[in-house]
Amino acid sequence: MLMRNIFLVFTFLPLLATADVIEWQSLEAVQSAAESFVQERTANIDGDVSISTAAPDKRIKVPSCDHLETSLPSGNHLWGRTSVKVSCSSPRWALYVPVTVRVTGKALVATRSIGSGQVIADQDVEVQILDLTPYPIGVFTRPEQAIGKTTAANIPAGNPLRAEVLRAQFVVKQGQQVVVIAKGASFKVTSEGVAMNNATVGQIVGVKTSSGQMIKGVATDSGTVEINF
């Protein structure tokens, strides 16, 4: 039967002769082990972390274990509603304890509705204290993380900003006349060419030189491409 608060998977290795000789595992200890595991794993999260674990269903009975092991099931994250696996290797059993992790902290939010393709300016964002749990991990917390970048999607007013909805501004655009700086240990040569693609700082950009030669370099600044030898 499926329990509402805690799920059970276990396999007894020996068949015990009589029920009255079985020493049952303390479910309070199971819950405590799960909570301690979450506290240790969330200690470095920025913000105020609130942890709650579901009380085990008292109808569950598993043999006592000398060493409880805790782990996070594959695909789970310690964020919002999740579960922690508490298990025993001898006798073999496992319990999955429902856990809720809530995080309150700083978030950079949009002060207005911002359309896709717009460049974020200082007045478009502000830092607020929010319940971060409903949002994916990775919310920006400082204005400099977003200012100057271009939105890749619509951002409603009040929504936190994340890397996934922004892209760095192009410093080189396709068809733009660019300065090409080729340099090595003892030389530096400057020339001009035409950019063949858009690029942000640090991205590779193809350049067609005045002689028709195709070369590649790294976009370093507005209209500048560097080639290092």
Same domain, yes or no: 32 and 51: yes
Q: In 171-186, which positions are buried (b, 16+ CB within 10 angstroms) versus exposed (e)?
A: bbeeebebbbbbeeee
CA 223, CA 12: separation in Å to the nearest integer? Answer: 70
What CATH number has the domain bearing residue 207?
2.30.30.760
| pLDDT 10s digits, 46-92 | 889 999 999 888 899 999 999 999 999 998 999 999 999 999 999 99
Q: Give residue 109's pLDDT.
A: 97
134 domain-assigned: yes
DSSP state of 169: P
Express each pLDDT in 90-147 by its tens digit.
Answer: 999 999 999 999 999 999 999 999 999 899 999 999 999 999 999 888 899 999 999 9
pTM of the model: 0.62
pLDDT (0 to 100) of residue 1: 44
Final residue in a domain of this structure, among 167, 198, 216:
167
> For residues 109 and 221, what is the distance between their CA atoms, to the nearest angstrom?
28
Higher pLDDT, 103 or 229: 103
In the predicted model, what is the mean pLDDT of the chain? 88
How far does Cα 165 stand from its chain's mean position?
A: 14
Residue 57 in any domain: the answer is: yes
The answer to whether residues 38 and 86 touch, using CB atoms and an 8 Å cutoff, is: no
Asked whether residue 188 falls in the same domain as residue 162, the answer is no
Query: What pLDDT score was predicted for residue 168?
Result: 80
